[in-house]
């Protein structure tokens, strides 16, 4: 379009059925605005968004040589894209279009004042016309996408997402902070409701992802920094030293056998011990041990070196240093998972960590596991005896105003599964499940619940204990009010299992800070839309998989991981992204680099750069800019303007409305 071409505006007033037309006199409005300078044609129509409605615009653009279009209808959020596409089909730049909202902003809120509503609608349309006169064509920029993804978190979500992306033919870097991938799922003995062995279904995937030619595994590695934007992220990783040369180690385990020093095992949640040089767990991937300098005699006192002496491949390297790794990736999946709510600290009434025989559900998984600290025997941690009476308490911390408001989404069925563990290992045991509501929404969960409910020695008590106490003989007891029978029941269990609530894994907080992605009030990652865009974040090119977004069971986690992976694959298959056109634009002729805007940008899109003459100016990275307009509002000199919403355009609207 030529700059000084005569402005010819077409105005279309939508009835929206009766939504608008029953309140606003649309005929009168069309007639009134037809008198406004530059308006060439003004029409009203029943449904502008319909195909015939859009066709009116397209034909008028051609017939009346329109170069601006104004539609007065619903909210731009609803139909701006619809009309922009119509305008584009008519042969105009889609941003030479302006919308006036005379439904939400007018007819819906002024139902009873028809005359005044019509006047207001006319003013709103006139304001849109005033802005339309000053509209300039805008364009979207194309940014190439590096065909390589970063997946943060090596649990089931990260593994599944990595495999999906790798299988589509794209390179993946999978980062895990622990020495082995596997995550929390690797700790489980069986998975509900089918009771498959968790390791049996997980380890093949762990091995597959580690051997996949398109996947590079970075275990025992943290994400230190991420720069850039969708398509071009620059990532800095820090690989922690294992003190074992990965290229030489065969995973034979001789070093571990010979190591004389022990420490509590992180993987066994403190229930068992490990050596100072250890595998995360027997099926660890990669099967390479790591030395924990805090418990290693060599690091503490300079002696021992047993592992070094006995290693057949000379793989021990006490001089290993942290290694910085730099990567360029086009997209990122956050799959950092969850941690258990700190019940010991937050809920002392349950006596967790105070009484040895109060354990969490995840700890019970380790007791049941054949590779766990008791080789699969359920025993009381205090005296190693088989518990004959077990209380399982659901909703510990979850659905509690004082703690976590949300449901953990797997505690109920996990608790039911745990009851099954007990009675199948100790057939004469009695199990009491203290619950508030039983929620079994997943596929096959209700059937599983039905099945377990039929066990005579598994009893359900509707209520939560007030406080777990200890008698003089060391036995635990608590009172619980059973709302089903209206009685207070006193239980003296040998073992108490707490189905604790969950919180985001602490690494998420760090990564969210680096990426500046939105975090919800519960601390989990905030998705872009709870229903329609559940895997996307506020940062373009960063996706969510699994419990990082909110509590999830394994099927949901795997499904979301697949969804996140397919979003990444879609991005990479296309090979480019288009930026939004309503970005901030800084006029370098006016900018004096005062620096007001830079700290305000929530997306880190503004940097201050020195020009050749040594003077400072602000620069916008349009790949990162979301067009929020904060910099434009704050700019004291008016050098920063938001394209499509510049001062001139907005003031033209204000002047029209206040005339």
| Site residues (vs another protein, CB under 8 A) | 587, 589-596, 598-600, 608, 615-616, 630, 633-639, 641, 647, 651
Report the nearest approach of another protein to the CB of residue 590 (Å).
4
Instruction: Give 18 or 651: the residue with its C-beta nearer to another protein.
Output: 651
Q: Which alpha helices (H) appear in 212-305, and where do they start and end?
A: 254-258, 297-301
Report the nearest approach of another protein to the CB of residue 165 (Å).
34
The CA R_g of the chain, rounded to the nearest whole Å, is 32
HEC string of 24-84?
CCHHHHHHHHCCCCCEEEEEEECCCCCHHHHHHHHHHHHHCCCCEEEEEECCHHHHHHHHH
Report the nearest approach of another protein to the CB of residue 633 (Å).
6
The first and second tokens of residue 436, run together, are 């508030």
Instruction: Give 65 or 136: the residue with its C-beta nearer to another protein.
Output: 136
Q: Using CA atoms, how far apart are residues 286 and 171, in angstroms rounded to an integer?
A: 19
* Exposed e or buried b per residue across 509-547, where buried means at least 16 C-beta atoms within 10 angstroms of its C-beta: eebbeebbbebeeeebbbbbeeeeebbbbbbbbbbbbbb
Q: Are strands 9-14 and 39-45 parallel, antiparallel or unpaired?
A: parallel
The phi and psi torsions of 415 (rounded to 5 degrees) equal -60, -40
**Residue 286, preceding bond cis, omega within 30 degrees?**
yes
HEC string of 405-420?
CCCCCCHHHHHHHHHH
Closest CA relative to residue 205, chosen from 550, 521, 520, 562: 562
DSSP of 446-515? HHHHHHHHT-TTEEEEES--S--EE-TTS-EEEEEEETTTTEEEEE--SEEEEEE-EEE-HHHHHHHHHH
Q: C-alpha dihedral over 85, 86, 91, 95, to 10 degrees?
A: -50
Contact 644, 652 (CB under 8 A): no
Closest CA relative to residue 103, chosen from 221, 191, 21: 21
Instruction: Give 201 or 608: the residue with its C-beta nearer to another protein.
Output: 608
**Which residues make Cβ contacts (< 8 Å) with residue 402, sequence separation at least 6?**
none
**Which residues make Cβ contacts (< 8 Å) with residue 424, sequence separation at least 6?**
none
Q: Terminus-to-terminus CA distance in the chain, angstroms? A: 30
Q: Using CA atoms, how far apart are residues 232 and 358, in angstroms rounded to an integer?
A: 49
Contact 56, 66 (CB under 8 A): no
Strand-pairing partners, residue 278, are 290
Instruction: Give 559 or 596: the residue with its C-beta nearer to another protein.
Output: 596
Helix (H) or strand (E) holding 225: strand 221-229
Report the nearest approach of another protein to the CB of residue 516 (Å).
13
Closest CA relative to residue 161, chosen from 201, 197, 200, 209: 209
Closest CA relative to residue 565, chosen from 179, 208, 156, 180: 156
Measured from the Cβ of residue 433, the count of other Cβ atoms closer than 10 Å reads 24
**Which residues make Cβ contacts (< 8 Å) with residue 584, sequence separation at least 6?**
605, 606, 620, 625, 627, 629, 631, 632, 640, 641, 642, 643
**Which residues make Cβ contacts (< 8 Å) with residue 612, sequence separation at least 6?**
none
Report the nearest approach of another protein to the CB of residue 524 (Å).
17
Instruction: Give 570 or 634: the residue with its C-beta nearer to another protein.
Output: 634
Q: Using CA atoms, how far apart are residues 504 and 8, in angstroms rounded to an integer?
A: 55
Helix (H) or strand (E) holding 630: helix 630-634
Instruction: Give 62 or 610: the residue with its C-beta nearer to another protein.
Output: 610
Measured from the Cβ of residue 557, the count of other Cβ atoms closer than 10 Å reads 29
Instruction: Give 408 or 639: the residue with its C-beta nearer to another protein.
Output: 639
Report the nearest approach of another protein to the CB of residue 139 (Å).
22
**Which residues make Cβ contacts (< 8 Å) with residue 72, sequence separation at least 6?**
11, 12, 13, 14, 29, 99, 100, 101, 102, 121, 124, 125, 128
């Amino acid at each position: 379009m030529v700059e000084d071409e005569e402005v010819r505006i077409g105005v279309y007033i939508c009835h929206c059925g009766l939504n608008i037309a029953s309140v606003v006199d649309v005929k009168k409005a069309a007639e009134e605005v037809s008198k406004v300078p530059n308006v060439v044609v003004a029409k009203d129509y029943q449904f502008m968004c319909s195909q015939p409605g859009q066709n009116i615009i397209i034909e008028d653009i051609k017939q009346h040589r329109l170069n601006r279009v104004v539609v007065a209808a619903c909210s731009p959020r609803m139909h701006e894209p619809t009309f922009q596409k119509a305008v584009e089909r008519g042969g105009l730049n889609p941003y030479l279009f302006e919308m006036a909202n005379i439904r939400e902003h007018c007819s819906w809120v002024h139902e009873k004042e028809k005359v005044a509503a019509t006047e207001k609608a006319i003013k709103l349309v006139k304001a849109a016309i005033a802005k339309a006169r000053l509209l300039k064509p805008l364009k979207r920029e194309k940014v190439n996408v590096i065909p390589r993804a970063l997946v943060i978190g090596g649990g089931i979500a990260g593994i599944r997402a990595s495999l999906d992306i790798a299988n589509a033919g794209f390179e993946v870097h999978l980062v895990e902070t622990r020495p082995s991938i596997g995550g929390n799922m690797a700790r489980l003995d069986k998975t509900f409701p089918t009771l498959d062995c968790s390791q049996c279904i997980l380890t093949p995937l762990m091995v597959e992802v580690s051997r996949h030619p398109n996947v590079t595994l970075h275990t025992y590695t943290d994400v230190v920094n991420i720069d850039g934007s969708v398509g071009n992220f620059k990532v800095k990783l820090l690989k922690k030293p294992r003190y074992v040369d990965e290229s030489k180690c065969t995973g034979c385990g001789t070093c571990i056998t010979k190591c004389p020093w022990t420490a509590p095992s992180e993987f066994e949640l403190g229930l068992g011990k490990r050596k100072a040089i250890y595998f995360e767990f027997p099926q660890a991937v990669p099967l390479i041990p790591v030395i924990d300098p805090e418990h290693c005699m060599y690091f503490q006192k300079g002696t021992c070196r047993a592992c070094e002496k006995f290693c057949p491949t000379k793989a021990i390297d006490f001089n290993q240093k942290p290694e910085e790794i730099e990567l360029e990736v086009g997209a990122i999946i956050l799959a950092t998972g969850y941690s258990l709510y700190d019940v010991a600290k937050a809920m002392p009434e349950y006596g967790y960590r105070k009484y040895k025989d109060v354990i969490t559900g995840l700890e019970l998984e380790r007791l049941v596991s054949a590779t766990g600290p008791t080789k699969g025997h359920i025993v009381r941690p205090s005296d190693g005896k088989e518990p004959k009476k077990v209380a399982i308490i659901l909703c510990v911390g979850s659905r509690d105003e004082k703690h976590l408001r949300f449901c953990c989404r797997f505690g109920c069925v996990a608790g039911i599964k745990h009851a099954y563990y007990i009675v199948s290992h100790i057939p004469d045991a009695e199990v009491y499940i203290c619950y508030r509501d039983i929620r079994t929404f997943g596929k096959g969960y209700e059937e599983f619940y039905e099945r377990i409910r039929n066990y005579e020695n598994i009893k359900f008590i509707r209520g939560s204990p007030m406080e777990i106490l200890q008698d003089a003989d060391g036995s635990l007891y608590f009172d619980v009010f059973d709302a089903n029978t209206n009685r207070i029941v006193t239980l003296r269990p040998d073992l108490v299992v707490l189905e604790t609530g969950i919180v985001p894994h602490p690494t998420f907080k760090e990564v969210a800070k680096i990426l500046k992605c939105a975090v919800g009030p519960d601390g989990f990652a905030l998705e872009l839309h709870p229903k329609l865009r559940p895997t996307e974040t506020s940062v373009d090119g960063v996706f969510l998989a699994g419990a990082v977004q909110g509590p999830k069971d394994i099927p949901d986690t795997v499904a979301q991981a697949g969804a996140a992976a397919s979003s990444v694959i879609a991005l990479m298959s296309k090979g480019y992204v288009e930026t939004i056109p309503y970005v901030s634009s800084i006029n370098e002729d006016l900018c004096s680099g005062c620096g007001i805007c830079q700290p305000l940008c929530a997306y880190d899109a503004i940097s201050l750069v020195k020009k050749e003459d040594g003077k400072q100016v602000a620069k916008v990275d349009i790949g990162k800019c979301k067009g929020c307009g904060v910099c434009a509002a704050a700019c004291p000199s008016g050098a920063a303007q938001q394209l499509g919403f510049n001062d001139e355009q907005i003031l033209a609207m204000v002047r029209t409305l206040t005339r």
